[in-house]
Amino acid sequence: MTARTFITRGLRHYRGAYLGVLLGAALGAMVLLGALFSGDSVKSTLHQIAEQRTGKTTLVLAGGENFFRASLSNSLNRSDSKPETAPVLQLRSQVDTPSGRSTGQVNLFGITPAFWSFAPGDTTPPALDAKSWAINRELARTLDLKPGDSIVLRLGKPGLASRDAPLSGEPEELITVRGTVAQIRDDDAMGRFNLEATQLPAPAVFLPIETLAGAIERNDRANLLLFREPLSTDQATALVRKSAQLADYGLSLQDIPLSAATEIRTDRIFLPTLIEGKLRTLLPSARPVVTYLANTIAANGKETPYSMVTGIDPAAVDFLPDDLAPGQIVLNSWEAEDLAAKPGDTVTLSYYTLGSGNRLVEMSTSLVVHSIVPLAGAAADKLWMPDFPGIAEADNSADWTPGLPLDLTRIREKDETYWDDHRGTPKAFIHPVAAYNMWRNRWGNATSLRLPAGQSDLERQILDTLTPADAGLLIRDLAAESQTAAASPVDIASLFLSMSFFLILAAVALTAMLFRFNVEQRNHESGLLAALGIPPKKILRWRLLEGLVVVTLGSALGTLLAFAYTRGLLLFLESIWNRGGDRLFQFHAAPASILGGLFGFILLMMTTIGFVTRRQAKRSASLRLETGTEEVIRHGKSRARWIAPAAALTGLAALAGSKAMGPQGAFFLAGFSFLVAGLATFLTVLNRSRNSPSNSLSPARLATLNGARRPTRSLVVVGSLAAGLFLVVSVTAFQKHGGGEWQKRPSGSGGFAFWIETTTAVHRGSNADSTADILQLGDQRGQLGDILPFRVGTGDDASCFNLNSVARPRLLATDTAVLEQRGSFTIKTTAPGIEKSWKSLREGDALRAFIDETTLLWVLKKKPGDRIDYTDEQGNSFPVEIAGTLDGTVFQGSFIVDEQRFLERYPSTGGYQLFLADTPGDLTATRGILQKSLTDLGATVTTTTDRLAAFHSVENTYISIFNVLGGLGVILGAAGLGLVTARNLAERRNEFTQLHQLGISRKIIRSLVFRETRQFILWAIGIGLVAAIISILPALPKTGLLVTLGWIAALAALAAMFLLTAASCAWLAYRKSALFRAS
Amino acid sequence: MIEVRQLSKTYETPSEKLRVLTDLDLTVAAGETAAIVGPSGCGKSTLLNLLGALDRPTSGSVKIGDQDISTLTEEQAATFRNHSLGFIFQQQHLLPQLTVLENVLVPRLAGDWQEPAAETEQRARQLLEKVGLGQRLSHLPWQLSGGEKLRTAVARALINRPKLILADEPTGSLDPASTDTVADLLLDLNRDQGVTLIVVTHNADLARRMGKTFELRAGKLHPLITDHNRA
């Protein structure tokens, strides 16, 4: 016989006893590996989604609201390096169906067939035409669409320049485009294409780029250019620069024959300051031209409405006097006559400029007439006025729609005649310095640059000077961005491991306890082996080898179970991060997780088993032969009596220092300390009862003595149960409630009732007090109180709904003065030296931002005072300083910045796409009315209460998972209690028989056993509850005392029920099998 | 063969120190048989455990042959037991998962036996044949009677060719007939193989069949009969 035979025989013979160990190991391994597999699955899913989201795209040239030629792609393809590129025109739209279904925030992708070759999977291009389009699965699911169905796109026509800019034209009506669904693209066939870092599919429509560009009257325009080659951003920039034309920078050259000049013009109304500066450096002879609309030119009690006035360097033109000063004006003869003005008269110019909060303000300036020029030659050149949208194409002055609040009834007959004859010829000329001072704005200073005609190779010179970033065309490393984003800020594996910690611990403790039972049961065997001269180390090794075989088998079983368990966990995660539709998370188990998890768990189990077995092995052979299964207790005074007060003091210190340690750290340390204190007290009481002789023996005394008989078993059972209860109860207390107090301005709702997001950007409109009815609700305006608009800037959603790692949260810019006046939201903390006020966002050298504390702590993992680099419109990096944190607001996942400071960096950002609004009326009714009224804007109206509740639901789902796992731990603890009870009863079979033989009734024996079990239960509930309640004390005022106590009472009752059931089952099982058979 | 001098053993209890053996002396020559009798709780098993190096004395020395086993480490003591001693317990302590033959072979698991495994197995079979269990080799302990179990334990005690056999109440759970059989067996072994035999027993008949009888009283051994009735 060999040692192997001996071990095999032992395993076979004690298979019943080992079954518990095997199951315990299987459970522990299942939970541990399940946590790791969940992490793997989420990680793998995010990477897969990242791949589907960007396809084979490496880099992207992104213009946003700045368009470039779609044919730039062809130019690139013709270049020497021939990079594979695809132009895309991306817009946002609302999609309606004939059946009345509708959804907003749909991505429209105007594409060429080359786009499909970027797909990670199926690259077969669908046959699309002007009326037959492809959609993705998400849109098909949302609107229940199938091939052949009709859809209608409703979108706002993008302006040439930002609709916020003066003279950018009137916001146009929504345009509608009709088409049919030709194909539904799968996720791996570019159906998931999206530049935004999110795990959720965005609904999308794919149509020919010429169809979409034609619909918005921007033929041959795109705002994305996808690259397939693994180029560096510098290489791509160089390639784009080489193939670019002026049109790609929004520039054009205009011959001005009457002045023998050439003008560099922009299609964005105002020449971007950066481009102006670069071109003036390149072309020193270039002179800025500023042509602007004066609302009124008045003098001598007379006035001329709505006239163009041009600022130009007098030296650049022949007809202006060289000595024209900034405070002077030159009128043309028509205007001089209209005003009966002569040199030396004072003329008042009034005009619109943009004030704070993007409101139009009418300003006026007085200028002295320098001279009068005849309306002839270069002074009568119609080309002084650039093609202002809404003006240039108008037949009559009365038809102007420049996007400014004009009173067109002021236009006289003679004004119309002037328009007919001279169009936008300026009626007055001023010094460029005066023009700059009056009309410069965030989009630029000049409307064009004029330089003498005959510049050789002007276009090439300009193209060689400018970079795509100057025109807001930024090259992004999309592949790298998406892979970085796929590294979720939430480490699911660690999260589940921490949430399963107790369950794993309970499983390990229970398994080790069962193993120990087995070792105890074989004490005689060990004693005999020792007596026969088998070295103790060898006996220990055999025991451990048996344990290793069982634990390995159990862990292997656990691995198989983990596959199913992980799928359950993923379903939980789906409830947080998926909003319906296809299954988001795909199961994945990395070999490293399987092997590492298995090895780690087996090691943990074997270390624990080794610990308990070593203690057994240390006992002498004779003792083991004599005592059998009885636990040998060390006599003398226990250390436990010192541990209890020390641990309690540590717990109190943790609570007292919760501010310094942070609430979470304090909670866990305090909780752990009070649990230890409770268990040490329990042990002390057991020791005392055992060591205190008593003259009388009552059933109660006997029960106490029996409990103290095997203190380790008692401690494991009470400890598991108490820790399980503690976790479940205390974590439940952290459940988030509330959101119902939206009217309170310091609350997370800021006193606003609605969170309104629109697909189409809303512009200030033609009303000077633009925010009064910014949503153009008309008669329904009375349904809402204050409306606070937000500009939605660059960055991604960093809220708990986004699983991707977000380096730069979305910027939300608003008039922070309004928030300050209203006293909305609560600023929780600020960086040192920064005032706790919204005002502080308007100060400082960096762009300052407030953000929800949750996002800062858990997603960004930063602190107030830290800075994050953003890229501005021109591709320059600039810091956003985290000025402070907000307390649980609707803004979770976004940086709140001041609008004016934001516009310094992003002047082209047009319009508002987010609104907070309060209401005097009923929430539900008003929401319905708003949703209906705002259909054209593709608006989604959410109550702030619902938004906050949605955030809370994420945290509460985590807590639910914790509770389920903690609850499993309690059940496991209860099972342990049942096992211990059954085991104790089995081992004491003779004792009960003797009691019975002594005439003690079964009823008394039963009550004795119940007393023993009950004392465990009471101790466990007491220790668990007391530790939980003391530890959560600091959190109680927030979570609502009554709600929390209610939960605790319910859970305690549930736990008690569990435990009693477990004990009863144990009793019944034992009663059936052994006790009375023996008697 | 056995020379015990000034042997004392004390146990700690919650209330006091319990002195079981006090300055006990014992000498048993090689090939002798001796019985130790005494009332329950007098320390007979404690003495046997000390003689078998299963326990360590509080003071004093136990010399078996030339070796003072009270100074051995745990590992050395195990080796000593494995090579030189045979134990027989009242409860036999047969391992329930092993067959009769395998139970006899258990001491070989210590691993440092020079004898080839096949030879040991052959001897085990012979021993079992000798104790009348030749037809029960593949039986499991629960399939044996009390006497058969004891005979298996005897065979196991002999597998290492011990110089000394220590038997603790070997016939305690047997009927008189079986007791005689076992006593015959033990004395045959003593006679045939010159094995020294020390038996702790309550059984006066068995004690009488031993060469020497000592009574353990108040922690000390008192000789009752010397070299009588040798069977």
Q: Span B140-159, mean pLDDT?
A: 88
Task: Give DSSP secondary structure letters for A782-820.
Answer: GG-S-EEEEEE-SSB--STT--S--SSBEEEEE-HHHHH
Whether the per-residue pLDDT at A118 is higher than 80: the answer is yes
Mean pLDDT across the stretch B206-211? 88
Query: What pLDDT was estimated at residue A866?
Result: 92
Q: What is the mean pLDDT of residues A664-691?
A: 83
CB A189 within 8 A of CB A119: yes
Closest CA to A846 of A856, A833, A860: A833
Q: Are A611 and A511 in contact (CB under 8 A)?
A: no
Q: Supply the DSSP string of A625-693, one letter for each residue.
A: HHHTTPPP---S--THHHHHHHHHHHHHHHHHTHHHH-HHHHHHHHHHHHHHHHHHHHHHHHHHHHHS-
In this complex, the residue of B49, B81, B96 whose CB is nearest that of residue A533 is B81
Residue A695, pLDDT score = 61
Query: Sorting pLDDT into bands at 50, 70 and 90, what band is A766?
Result: very low
Which of A11, A528, A619 should we substitute to test contact with B (largest number of B Cβ atoms within 10 Å)? A528
pLDDT range class, residue A894, cuts 50, 70, 90: very high
pLDDT at residue A257 tops 50: yes
Residue found by looking up tokens 């490293």 in the block = A592
Q: What is the pLDDT of residue A746?
A: 87
Structure-model confidence comparison of residues A584 and A747, the more confident one: A747
Instruction: Note the Cα A1078 to chain centre separation in Å.
Output: 65
Chain B: give the shortest CA distance to residue A660, in Å.
Answer: 47
Choose, out of B46, B69, B93, B168, the residue to mutate when testing the contact with A (most A CBs < 10 Å): B93
Which ipTM value was assigned to this complex? 0.83
pLDDT category of residue B226 using cuts at 50, 70 and 90: low
Q: Would you tell me how many other CB atoms lie within 10 Å of the CB of residue A25?
A: 32
Q: Is A625 on the interface with B (CB under 8 A)?
A: yes
Q: Quote the minimal CA–CA distance from B79 to chain A in Å.
A: 6
The answer to whether residue A1009 scores a pLDDT higher than 70 is yes
Reply yes or no on whether the pLDDT at B154 is more than 50.
Answer: yes
- Are residues A534 and B107, on separate chains, in Cβ contact within 8 Å? yes
CB A756 within 8 A of CB A827: no
Contact A588, A601 (CB under 8 A): no
Beta A346-354 vs A287-299: how paired, if at all? Answer: antiparallel
Mean pLDDT along residues A739-759: 84
- The mean per-residue pLDDT over the stretch A537-544 comes to 86
- How crowded is residue A321: how many other Cβ atoms within 10 Å of its Cβ? 13
Q: Where are the domains of chain B?
A: 2-96+163-226
Cα–Cα distance measured from residue A55 to residue A49, given in angstroms and rounded to the nearest whole number:
9
Measure A543 CA to nearest chain B CA, in Å: 14
Record the tokens describing residue A42, joined without a space.
């989420």
Other C-beta atoms closer than 10 Å to the C-beta of A231 total 18
Measuring CA to CA, which residue among A711, A648, A639, A715 is closest to residue A675? A648
Say which of B54, B79, B91 has its CB closest to residue A620: B54
- CATH code for residues B2-96+163-226: 3.40.50.300
**pLDDT tens track for A866-891:** 999 998 877 788 999 999 999 889 99
Nearest-angstrom CA–CA distance, A95 and A106: 7
- Distance of alpha carbon A197 from alpha carbon A186, whole angstroms: 19
Q: Is the pTM of this model over 0.80?
A: no
Type of residue at A602:
I
Look up residue A568 and give its amino acid: G
pLDDT of residue A1054: 67
pLDDT at A1065: 63
> Between B104 and A762, where is the model more confident?
B104
Shortest CA distance from A11: residue in chain B: B97
C-alpha to C-alpha distances, A219 to A68, A127, A250, A357, A373, nearest whole angstrom: 10, 21, 14, 34, 41
Of B53 and A703, the structure prediction assigns the larger pLDDT to B53
- 3-state secondary structure (DSSP) of residue A590: coil
Residue A574 in this model has a pLDDT that exceeds 50: yes
What are residue A427's phi and psi, to 5 degrees? -90, -10
Instruction: Tell how far CA A247 is from the center of its chain.
Output: 37
Neighbours of A73 (CB within 10 A): 25
Closest Cα in chain B to A9: B97
CA distance from start to end of chain A? 39
Question: Cβ contacts of residue B118 below 8 Å, gap of 6+?
Answer: none
Give tens-digit pLDDT for A949-999. 888 877 777 777 777 777 777 777 777 777 777 777 777 776 777 666 667
Three-state SS for A910?
coil
Q: For all residues of chain A together, what is the average pLDDT?
A: 83
Give kind and range of the element (H or E) at residue A757.
strand A754-762
Question: Looking at residues A534-554, what average pLDDT do you find?
Answer: 89
Name the residue among A524, A525, A531 with its Cβ closest to that of B81. A531
pLDDT at A99: 87
The pLDDT, as a whole number, for residue A617 is: 64
pLDDT at A486 over 50: yes
Best A521, A522, A532, A632 residue to mutate vs chain B (most B CBs within 10 Å): A532
**Domain ranges in chain A?**
1-52+500-631, 59-162+176-245, 288-444, 754-951
Encoded tokens for A255: 């011959």
Residue contact B110–A530, C-beta within 8 A: no
- From the DSSP assignment, how many helices (H) and strands (E) are in chain B? 7, 10
Whether B54 and A531 lie within 8 Å, measured CB to CB: yes
Between A536 and B227, where is the model more confident?
Answer: A536
Which positions ≥6 away from B102 have C-beta within 8 Å? A1, A5, A9, B95
Report the share of chain A in percent with pLDDT over 70: 87
So what's the pLDDT on residue A348?
95
pLDDT value at position B113?
85
Res B231: pLDDT: 39
Cα separation of B196 and B64, whole Å?
11
- CA-CA distance, B44 to B33, in Å (whole number)? 16
Q: State what percent of residues in chain B have pLDDT above 90.
A: 21
Residue of chain A whose alpha carbon sits nearest to that of B140: A13
Contact A528 B96 (CB under 8 A): no
Report the share of chain A in percent with pLDDT over 90. 34
- The answer, yes or no, to whether residue B52 has pLDDT greater than 80, is yes
Q: Which residue has the higher pLDDT, B179 or A787?
A: A787
Mean of pLDDT values over A669-675:
87
pLDDT band at A543 (very low <50, low <70, confident <90, very high): confident
User: Which tens digits make up the pLDDT trace of A790-821?
Assistant: 999 888 888 887 877 788 899 999 989 989 99
Quick check: A531 contacting B, CB < 8 Å?
yes
In Å, what is the CA distance from B51 to each residue of A390, A731, A825, B139? 116, 60, 84, 32
Output the pLDDT for position A1074. Answer: 47
Largest CA distance in chain B: 54
Q: Which residues pair with A882 in a beta bridge?
A: A849
Average the pLDDT over A629-650 and give the result. 70
| Cβ-Cβ contacts under 8 Å, A614 against chain B | none
Confidence (pLDDT) at A1078? 41
Question: Residue B97 is nearest to which of A13, A530, A635, comparing CB atoms?
Answer: A13
| Record: contact B78-A530, CB cut-off 8 A | yes
Which residues are CB-neighbours of A664 under 8 A, at least 6 positions away? none
Length of chain B counted residue by residue = 231
Mean pLDDT computed over A103-132: 90
**How many C-beta atoms surround the C-beta of residue A209 within 10 A?**
23
| Residue A288 scores a pLDDT above 90 | yes
Under an 8 Å CB criterion, which residues of B touch A? 12-14, 45-46, 49, 52, 54-56, 74-75, 78-83, 85, 87, 89, 91, 93, 95-98, 102, 105-111, 156, 160
Spatial distance between the Cα atoms of A4 and A542, rounded to a whole number of angstroms: 9
Q: Which residue has the tokens 């080359």?
A: A114
